[in-house]
């Protein structure tokens, strides 16, 4: 009887999760797609001017900004996260582990607005001193997002590395490999599926981040010409203007949300294809 009840509870929670995703999709597409059709798909997606006061809605600069900032965060955060996970799983002394592991977990619990404030008072002035200008731009946002995705990548990757059977490591040692070579060439490849899952979650966090990016990215709806140029991401565009938007302007912002949704879906599909090839 208890098993049947719990089976029903699990089925109900799974159904609610699927229903929530379905309702979000219906809301976004029902409100956003008509706006895209009214504006014109090509004008909306490839237009380089965003002027709601003149009913001009081109989100191509925001798409480019999101791609650049996310790519920068991945370049900075993924190698650091994976190497840190390897260190925690195989090289970290026990006493140091008791300090580093809670610190990494604490990073995951810091609110986005606090990260944004840190970037505003620490990273932005540092960029101003090093490269001049306002200090707000793609590189600044990428550094901050790279820091923000570290806890996700480290946590999932470490769990995947620890899940690899010890026989892989011992077999490599038995063949004459060193400790470091055994870890990087025997254990790490065996954990690549779990590590890739952590990277996917980290990329999703980077794409969906809003408040921290709004504070330090510069918020300029133009195509950037360097990594120091200010940009506006898709998420920043929505949160900055949704509060006062109305009519077609509001629908265009919902259309932006549809593009962001499809963008994230495409990235997840690409990672899924990579996982299948790896299998």
Domain assignments of the chain as residue spans, ordered by start: 60-278
63: three-class secondary structure by DSSP: helix
d(CA 146, CA 58): 28
Task: Write the DSSP assignment of 79-140 as a string of letters.
Answer: HHHHHHHHIIIII--HHHHHHHHHHHHHHHHS-HHHHHHHIIIIIHHHHHHHH-S-S-SHHH
d(CA 114, CA 112): 5
- The tokens of 179 are what? 């400790």
8 A C-beta contact, residue 241 and residue 232: no
d(CA 107, CA 124): 20
Residue 68: Cβ-neighbour burial (10 angstroms; 0-12, 13-18, 19+):
buried
d(CA 71, CA 77): 10
Q: Structurally, what CATH architecture does the domain formed by 60-278 represent?
A: Orthogonal Bundle (1.10)
pLDDT by 10s per residue, the chain, length 279: 888 899 999 999 999 999 998 998 888 888 888 888 888 888 888 888 888 888 888 899 999 999 999 999 999 999 999 999 999 999 999 999 999 999 998 988 888 889 999 999 999 999 999 888 888 889 999 999 999 999 999 999 999 999 999 999 999 998 888 889 999 999 999 998 889 888 888 888 888 888 888 888 888 888 888 888 889 888 888 888 888 878 888 888 988 999 888 888 888 787 777 767 655
Closest alpha carbon to 158 in 209, 88, 107, 217: 88
- The tokens of 1 are what? 């009887």
């Amino acid at each position: 009887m208890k098993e049947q009840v719990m089976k029903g509870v699990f089925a109900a929670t799974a159904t609610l999760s699927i229903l929530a995703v379905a309702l979000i999709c219906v809301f976004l597409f029902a409100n956003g797609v008509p706006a895209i059709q009214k504006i014109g798909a090509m004008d909306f997606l490839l237009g380089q001017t965003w002027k709601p006061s003149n009913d001009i809605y081109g989100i191509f600069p925001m798409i480019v900004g999101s791609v650049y900032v996310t790519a920068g965060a991945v370049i900075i955060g993924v190698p650091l996260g994976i190497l840190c996970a390897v260190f925690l799983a195989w090289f970290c002394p026990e006493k140091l582990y008791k300090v580093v592991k809670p610190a990494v977990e604490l990073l995951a619990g810091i609110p986005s607005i606090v990260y944004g404030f840190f970037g505003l008072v620490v990273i932005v002035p540092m960029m101003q001193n090093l490269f001049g200008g306002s200090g707000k731009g793609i590189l600044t946002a990428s550094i901050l997002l790279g820091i923000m995705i570290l806890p996700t990548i480290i946590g999932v990757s470490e769990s995947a590395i620890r899940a690899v059977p010890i026989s892989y490591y011992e077999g490599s040692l038995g063949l004459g490999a060193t400790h470091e070579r055994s870890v990087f060439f025997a254990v790490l490849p065996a954990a690549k599926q779990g590590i890739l899952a952590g990277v996917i979650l980290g990329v999703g966090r980077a794409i969906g981040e809003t408040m921290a990016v709004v504070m330090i990215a510069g918020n300029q709806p133009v195509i950037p010409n360097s990594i120091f140029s200010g940009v506006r991401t898709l998420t920043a565009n929505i949160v900055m203007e949704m509060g006062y938007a109305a009519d077609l302007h509001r629908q265009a912002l919902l259309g932006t949300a549809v593009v962001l949704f499809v963008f994230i879906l495409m990235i997840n599909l690409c990672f899924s294809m990579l996982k299948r090839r790896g299998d």
